[in-house]
Structure 1
Amino acid sequence: MLLAPFDAPGSFFRGNLHTHSDMSDGALPPAEVCRRYKAQGYDFISLTDHFVGRWGYPITDTSAFRDDDFTTLLGIEMHSGAQKNGELWHLLAVGVPADFAPSNSPDFRPVADQESGPEIAERARQAGAFVAIAHPQWSGLTEEDARSISAAHAVEVYNHGSHTLADRGTGMPILDLLLSEGRALTLIATDDSHFKGPDAFGGWVMVKAKANTPGDLLTALKSGQFYSSQGPEIHGIWYEGDRVRVSCSAASQVIVQAHNNASDVVTGDSLTDATIALGRMTHSPWLRVTVIDAAGKRAWSNPIWPAQL
């Protein structure tokens, strides 16, 4: 059985879902951010400036930079309420409406009488946005924090800026914990680019959609019709009950991960097709695939839920 998103109609479109401009703390104006991503071969971005009062709660209008080959989704990075460590929440809302109401978040410190992280996440989801927990490792997110965001569609498992500038770029432990508790989440790789250092063009999503339009992309994101990458391509994943087959660009490792510490791997030179017997993973409630190339770059599937197939 060929799995989503590879069995869906449409084409794959490459996009970055976490980006900043000089409308908040980025170095470049929105037009130049969009130009650079388009020049690098991206099909779309979401410019997610910091939604705080210091910059007037910007929802940066990027619609003027759309054309036949490149599009944008309105987005914000939301900050409201304190995590367990006392730091302000960081949550992505992609596809947020232009009139999304500000929270009481004057700056990057929690204040009294503002929405909690779970509350603003729920409000963004109800407004139609794709909601993701941003850079869990960099944020110092606890398990209790992560569990509280019930409105999230996804966890940011790779943040290129957090990786290159702080060596705290992963969110995979939080994702695996939530999956093993039954949460139906997807995973995203992003840049979190500010263009003040080497923080751009390092992590992206490949979205299978009918067309490269904001509406089609947002629908596909919410339904999990995508995979994430730092470079490798995944061409197909087949679930065959007792095994998983993966077709991909040239790789050195293809791994299937499952509940608890279960996993198995195929290794080799320039692998483009690998079949992994599930063995003790056969009864895992979820599976996911990682493809690693010779340079150590990774691509990740969204979780597979065998009971739903």
Structure 2
Amino acid sequence: MCMDAFSAEGSFWRGNLHTHSNRSDGALTPDEVCRRYAAEGYDFIALTDHFLGIYGYPVVDTRAMRKDGFTTLLGAELHSGAMQNGELWHILAVGLPLDFTPPNAPHFVPVDDQETGPQIAERAAQAGAFVSIAHPQWSAMTLDDARSISAAHAAEVYNHGCFAGADRADGFATADLLLAEGRRLSLIATDDAHFTEPDHFGGWVMVRSPENHPDALLQALKDGLFYSSQGPEIRGIHLDGDLVDVECSAAASVIVQGQGSATAAMHGHSMTRAKIKIGRLANSPWLRVTVIDAAGRRAWSNPYWR
């Protein structure tokens, strides 16, 4: 059986789903952010400025920045209510309408009479957005916090800005615990670029879609037809009996993870194919794959539910 992202119709398109401009706390104009991503070979980005009153609640209209070979998805980083640690929620929403109704979120500090994080996430999903739990480690998010975002399509498992600025890039512990509870989340890597530090071009998604068009990309994201990367390519994943067959760019390690502590791995030099016996993973309800190159850069599949 071939995993859907590698058998679905279309091509892979490279995109960043978490980006900021000077419409909130980023350093560059929306035009310049888009120009730089296009120049770096990206096929699309979502500009997701902070949806707060101090910035005028922006869902930045980037439609004029679309051109042949490069497109944009509209979105924002939503904030409303407090997590268990008392800090403001951060929720990524890609595919928002331009007229999405703002919450009562004047600034980066929670205030009384706000929607909760779960409520604004649900409202964004109902408006058609692809919703992700943002940077769990950076936010010091509890598992109960993460559980509460029932509308999420995905969890942000690698955030390059949180790596560069805080060494808190990870979301896999949270994501794997939610998967273990049966939550069918996909896994995204992003930049969270502000261009105020080296927080850009470090994590992205490769989305399988018939065309590089906002509607097609958004549907593919919701359907989980993508993998995430810092550099390596995943070219195919097949499950054949007790084997996971992975095709990839040159890798030093290919690891299959499942529920609990179960893993299986193959290590070598410039591997472009790895056939791995699932062994202890045989009873796991889901599997995911990590490909690591000689420089330590990673690519991650979405979970495959067996």
Q: Give the alignment's TM-score, normalised by structure 1.
A: 0.99
SS of the residue corresponding to residue 128 of structure 1 reads coil
Query: In the alignment, which residue of structure 2 is the partner of 1:27?
Result: 27
Q: Contact 1:241/1:282 (CA < 8 Å) preserved in 2?
A: no
Q: Which amino acid aligns with 1:25?
A: D
Matches within 5 A, 1:104-115: 104-115=104-115
What are structure 2's unaligned runs of at least 5 residues?
none
Q: Which amino acid aligns with 1:128?
A: G
Give the Å deviation of 1:121: 0.2
Q: Which amino acid aligns with 1:74?
A: L
Q: Deviations over 1:131-188 (max 9, x none)?
A: 0011000000001101000000000000000001110000000000000000000000
Q: Deviations over 1:180-226 (max 9, x none)?
A: 00000000000000000000000000000010000000000000000
Q: Which amino acid aligns with 1:282?
A: A
SS of the residue corresponding to residue 274 of structure 1 reads strand
Q: Which amino acid aligns with 2:81?
A: G
Query: In the alignment, which residue of structure 2 is the partner of 1:118?
Result: 118
Give the Å deviation of 1:2: 1.4
Matched, 1:209 2:198: no
Query: In the alignment, which residue of structure 2 is the partner of 1:67?
Result: 67
For residues 4 and 177 of structure 1, what CA distance do their matches in structure 2 show?
Answer: 23
Matches within 5 A, 1:1-309: 1-306=1-306
Q: Which amino acid aligns with 1:191?
A: D
Q: Which amino acid aligns with 1:276?
A: I
Q: Contact 1:164/1:199 (CA < 8 Å) preserved in 2?
A: yes
SS of the residue corresponding to residue 188 of structure 1 reads strand
Deviating above 6 A after TM superposition, structure 1's stretches of 4 or more consecutive aligned residues are none
Q: Which amino acid aligns with 1:90?
A: H
Q: Contact 1:62/1:72 (CA < 8 Å) preserved in 2?
A: yes
For residues 198 and 241 of structure 1, what CA distance do their matches in structure 2 show?
Answer: 43
Give the Å deviation of 1:257: 0.3
SS of the residue corresponding to residue 132 of structure 1 reads strand
For residues 178 and 240 of structure 2, what CA distance do their matches in structure 1 show?
Answer: 25
SS of the residue corresponding to residue 88 of structure 1 reads coil
Count of equivalent residues: 306
For residues 34 and 153 of structure 1, what CA distance do their matches in structure 2 show?
Answer: 25
Give the Å deviation of 1:243: 1.4
Q: Contact 1:14/1:204 (CA < 8 Å) preserved in 2?
A: yes
Give the Å deviation of 1:241: 2.7
Give the Å deviation of 1:232: 0.1
For residues 229 and 90 of structure 2, what CA distance do their matches in structure 1 show?
Answer: 22
Give the Å deviation of 1:283: 1.4
Give the Å deviation of 1:44: 0.1
For residues 233 and 194 of structure 2, what CA distance do their matches in structure 1 show?
Answer: 26
SS of the residue corresponding to residue 156 of structure 2 reads strand
Q: Which amino acid aligns with 1:154?
A: A
Percent identity, aligned pairs only, is 67
What are structure 1's unaligned runs of at least 5 residues?
none
Q: Deviations over 1:57-92 (max 9, x none)?
A: 000010001012100000100010000000000000
For residues 280 and 189 of structure 2, what CA distance do their matches in structure 1 show?
Answer: 29
